[in-house]
Structure 1
Amino acid sequence: MLVDEFLSYLQYERNYSLLTVEAYRKDLLQFILYLRELDENITFPEDVDADLVRRWIISLMDNKGGREGKGYKETSVNRKLSSLKSFFKYLMKQKRISADPMRLITGPKAKKPLPYFVKDKDMEMLLDSHEGNGEKDFISIRDNLIVEMLYDTGMRRAELVNLRDADVDFERMQIKVTGKRNKQRLIPFAERLKDLMWQYIQVRNQEVGASEYFFIRPNGEQISSYIVYRVVKGRLSEVPTLAKRSPHVLRHSFATSMLNNGAELNAVKDLLGHSSLASTSVYTHTSFEELKKVYHAHPRAKKEGGYYGN
């Protein structure tokens, strides 16, 4: 059988794992079973065309396609299509078929999940609790500033790691950031962050010594991305309702907070260093979700047929 030949090819010539080969087998047999249920006279693979594949995609995504009466998600459908495409590509290579029915097939676009973020009040409580704990040693002051700077500026983890003393202009109260593809941008900062940075620099220079890089380790070397990740993850673990904890969550929190408090989308785009509004617009969806929650809290929304209700 052609499917068996293909699976052997994956296992012995492409060195795919047994689990991967088994996943290919299940996907292909599922498609063959669909064809038989659709029409017993369909010959596989000779009679397969793009229309049949598209009908299969629809059947996978409807309410009868997946487990427990639920359709398959876009990611699962695309994985099955990938198996089918690999199979027909193999048949073309072996000259078993003259045309590839998958050449015009595109899978469903996966819905992008809304970014995780920390609410303003939770972030304020988190920052204030560590600022007022009385810890004045170098590590504590540095780690507090890492979290504060990521949240106050929206910069990426790599941008913070590579920040240099020369990039911080206290007179103009702005930070020069080098982002992706070496694109530079200026991010303003407020008095609160300015005071925290001065405090950090004084302790750093006294206990460790001046350095080219702004954030350093106790041995004077540049801080690593892992240290930043570990610090942020530890701090965000103090927010029990947060499902994801990483430096990028603080970037999301910055953008969401800016938009929720009236900032223009183009201004947030420039502060984040996005090349287009498409990347920034995801935060408008986040803000809208928060807005809907506020509306649904309205007493009229709780009544059936109310202005905001269902």
Structure 2
Amino acid sequence: MAMTDDQKAARATHGLLSAASPDVAQAAQAWLARLAHERRLSAKTLEAYARDLGVVLQRLTGHLGARPGLLDLAALTPADVRAVLAARRADGVAPRTLVRLLAAARSFGRHLEREGLGKVGALAAVRAPKVPASLPKPVSVAAARALADPATRAGDPREPWVLARDAAVIALLYGAGLRISEALGLTPRQVPAGAGQITVTGKGRKTRMVPLIAPVRAAIAAYEALCPHALGPDGPLFRGTRGGPLSPRIVQLAVERMRGALGLPESATPHALRHSFATHLLSRGGEIRAIQELLGHASLSTTQIYTQVDATALMAAYRAAHPRAATATPGK
């Protein structure tokens, strides 16, 4: 049975109890419940928000000498917030982590102000650390096909239905651009035999239509034909060896195993196959707006990063192949 928003919030807040004063813990549970209800965040995402806020509160406790209450938060100065970030930076955490901690604290601060529990103005007065841009690292077309090809697994001692299952999941990641959670959340009812497209539930419980190309349909059909477990229409499509829902970790391990066999870099992960789906579509003339819809991105700016990946790959190919690339000067 699915958890209610309040249950998810209570579960996420549990980890905050040691870091928060009673009034802050109560406000935090209300904040997390609001995030669950208004933004439809998953239990795991709520726990990440709560964990980040807990880290900030723990550092504030060390800085102030006691667990901060709501009045203490309202009295914070920019110097206090910078001290927290500096302490975490001294621990060796990456700038991206500092940005995430500050974002969680600011979200909580907005909730407090909205509820009339105080305004934490110091949070808005501190500039977030700069995060160096990192581009997605897709695999090549040949590598993506090999990862999804059941024939690549010839000689693997595991049961044939397990190999077919792994191949079907990977085919969905690359052939349909699904997130691993989206693929593992599918039910047989959502993927009827011969379906040319399916409805996928993504982040924020938003749904989108995704085409299923013939190789992906064939991979799923091969798995279903071999699976020894009864696949009820509304149960999970992909099963673990004992019949329960397949864990994302099992898929990650399967890709790691294939990565070693194919000599691929560590960046070749399940999520890299989704990156590859987008990058390869774009390189073959795919329209950016259509790719945005297929990926389920709320903002076009999120999808536009793939245009940078494509341009980077194009320049790398130019430098490697053009006879004057080593000496040519741009614009001349």
**Which interval holds the TM-score relative to the shorter structure?**
0.5 to 0.7
RMSD: 3.7
More deviation in 259-268 or 297-306?
A: 297-306
- CA displacement at 1:120 relative to structure 2: 1.0
CA distance in 2, matches of 1:7, 1:138: 52
More deviation in 245-254 or 102-111?
A: 102-111
Contact 1:300 1:306 survives alignment (8 Å): no
Structure 2: 5+ residue runs without aligned partners?
Answer: 1-58, 69-81, 88-93, 103-120
Secondary structure of the residue that 1:300 maps to in structure 2? coil
Q: 1:187 to 1:307 in 2, by over 3 A?
A: same
Are 1:303 and 2:327 counterparts?
Answer: yes
2:258 to 228, 235, 248: 235
1:267 to 280, 290, 300: 290
One-letter amino acid of the structure 1 residue matched with residue 154 of structure 2 = N
Match in the other structure for 2:130: 109
One-letter amino acid of the structure 1 residue matched with residue 273 of structure 2 = L
Structure 1 vs Structure 2: percent identity of aligned residues?
Answer: 28
Match in the other structure for 1:209: 230
Residues 81-133 of structure 1 show CA distances to partners (whole Å, capped at 9, x for unaligned) of: x8xxxxxxxxxxxxxxxxx9996442453122111211112223444474462
Match in the other structure for 2:317: 294
Residues 202-253 of structure 1 show CA distances to partners (whole Å, capped at 9, x for unaligned) of: 111xx22223221112332221222222223332344545232432111111
Match in the other structure for 1:190: 213
2:247 to 224, 231, 243: 224
Q: 1:7 to 1:110 in 2, by over 3 A?
A: closer
Are 1:252 and 2:305 counterparts?
Answer: no
One-letter amino acid of the structure 1 residue matched with residue 231 of structure 2 = A
Match in the other structure for 2:305: 282
Give the TM-score taking structure 1 as reference length: 0.63
Match in the other structure for 1:13: 66
Q: Give the length in aligned residue pairs.
A: 233
CA distance in 2, matches of 1:102, 1:195: 53
CA distance in 1, matches of 2:85, 2:184: 45
Secondary structure of the residue that 1:258 maps to in structure 2? helix
Structure 1: 5+ residue runs without aligned partners?
Answer: 1-5, 16-22, 29-73, 83-99
Contact 1:116 1:252 survives alignment (8 Å): yes
Match in the other structure for 2:140: 119
- Larger Rg belongs to: 1
CA distance in 1, matches of 2:300, 2:236: 31
Give the TM-score taking structure 2 as reference length: 0.59
Q: 1:199 to 1:9 in 2, by over 3 A?
A: closer
More deviation in 163-172 or 264-273?
A: 163-172
CA distance in 1, matches of 2:271, 2:64: 38
One-letter amino acid of the structure 1 residue matched with residue 326 of structure 2 = K
CA distance in 1, matches of 2:208, 2:214: 20
Secondary structure of the residue that 1:177 maps to in structure 2? strand
